[in-house]
Chain A
């Protein structure tokens, strides 16, 4: 392409004054940019957060197949590290429990109704920071969460949020499980994998391969590069249109025939990353439920 401003050639180097003017011009443009973007961020951020929350809730309801009356409870986990001592803190709808690593209770306080009812993570974190005294605010950190789908007073299932390192960046996912730790479905919430390759992890033929597998299945599962059998793929595409239970019933005999996760062609790293993430998340969740169960 031809350059229109041929005038720039053969010029004396700019004087100090001229350079100052150029720098000032750039600074003014940047200042305007900061004002525009800053005010837009201020205006749009609440709406963005609301959308995110609504999307998460729809996803959790879909994964667990909850009825319209079902309520979702959030359990947040924090880590407190002071000196060499490490403590885990769980915030449930009823209790704020501070525990040693081996599960021994340090303290447990009741949670006020307004904190339990709010959907704002920020409000919950603020309340926790007020309750747990730490010298340096850096020493109390949010460390993850899971959700409980409540049908009346009975838990209908759990959705665990997990993260795993993908090909380039973190992959955030939801994993739905029932009370026997059998996976009911997986949703990828956020990822930056390559379109057409690693980004295929969001497709049903990949993420639904985890559904229906028990804790024991997942513990010994591995990723295979064998091509995905057409019959199994067709079955995997059904989950989502069909709720989990009828799906698992209909394709019961397919699961033992496909004991491993079939990697996405050309994206073994992303496939392994998600599989490892699911393995870790499930194992950790089981350990944590043993501890937090009594505070729910």
Chain B
């Protein structure tokens, strides 16, 4: 592995996940859960929190074991680390947050295959020590959380006329938005908003390289 580079300042690491490299709206990673669960703010918030915890713990553990693990087997080890923390989350939610688990239990197990988590371990934790990995994981996890909550709020408000299950509008403005197809429209619209803000701030548009992953 390349020699350790000094980590960027904390604020950069935090903001990068939220804006410049927002997992959903800039990197277009893990779009499948982003579309599937964001039918309400509550669902988005709960899955977002689960992802945040798993991301932080996985990034830190990845950074801890990077000197012990031969780079050739880093992928199975990363997968194993993520699987450990996801199983741990699954057990803790089932035991102490039974109501929430009823709602998101199905999706929590899927976090194992979220592209964003393994990509942060590969791109960041392998090159930096534990503390910067914590901040990077926190930033990315928060970015994912904010993304899910934004999309959830937009869809619940327009599709169902409510926020957090509380009716705020007397009608349902646009039912389509809460249906699966509406999830894609929502993500696309917010993505456009992110790009627009970026252009306003004088950045170039990102080239369309990435593509969606799991």
Query: Which residues of A are in contact with B by a Cβ distance under 8 Å?
Result: 1, 4-5, 7-8, 14, 18, 21-22, 25-26, 28-30, 32-33, 36-37, 40-41, 43-45, 47-48, 51, 54-55, 195-196
Q: Tell me the residues in window 65-100 of chain B with beta carbons closer than 8 Å to chain A beta carbons.
A: 65, 68-74, 76-77, 80-81, 83-84, 87-88, 91-92, 94-96, 98
Contacts of A21 in B (CB 8 A): 70
Top 4 A-B residue pairs of the complex, sorted by shortest distance between their CB atoms:
A44-B95, A47-B95, A51-B98, A44-B91
- With A4-B126, A22-B72 known, 20 other A-B pairs at CB within 8 A are A4-B122, A4-B123, A4-B127, A5-B1, A5-B71, A5-B74, A22-B70, A26-B77, A28-B68, A30-B80, A33-B80, A36-B88, A40-B91, A44-B95, A44-B96, A45-B95, A48-B94, A48-B95, A51-B98, A195-B36
Q: Can you list 26 A-B contacts with CB-CB less than 8 angstroms, sorted by A residue number?
A: A1-B210, A4-B126, A5-B74, A7-B71, A8-B72, A14-B72, A18-B70, A22-B73, A25-B68, A25-B69, A26-B76, A29-B77, A29-B81, A36-B88, A37-B84, A37-B88, A40-B92, A44-B91, A44-B92, A44-B96, A48-B94, A48-B95, A51-B98, A54-B98, A195-B36, A195-B106
Query: Which residues of B are in contact with A by a Cβ distance under 8 Å?
Result: 1, 36, 65, 68-74, 76-77, 80-81, 83-84, 87-88, 91-92, 94-96, 98, 106, 119, 122-123, 126-127, 180, 210, 213
Bound complex: CA A58 to CA B182 (Å): 36
Using CB atoms, name the residue of chain B closest to A47: B95
The answer to whether A33 touches B84, judged by C-beta atoms less than 8 angstroms apart, is yes
Contacts of B123 in A (CB 8 A): 4
Bound complex: CA A218 to CA B205 (Å): 63
Bound complex: CA A1 to CA B213 (Å): 10
Interface of B is mostly: helix
Interface of A is mostly: helix
Contacts of B84 in A (CB 8 A): 32-33, 36-37
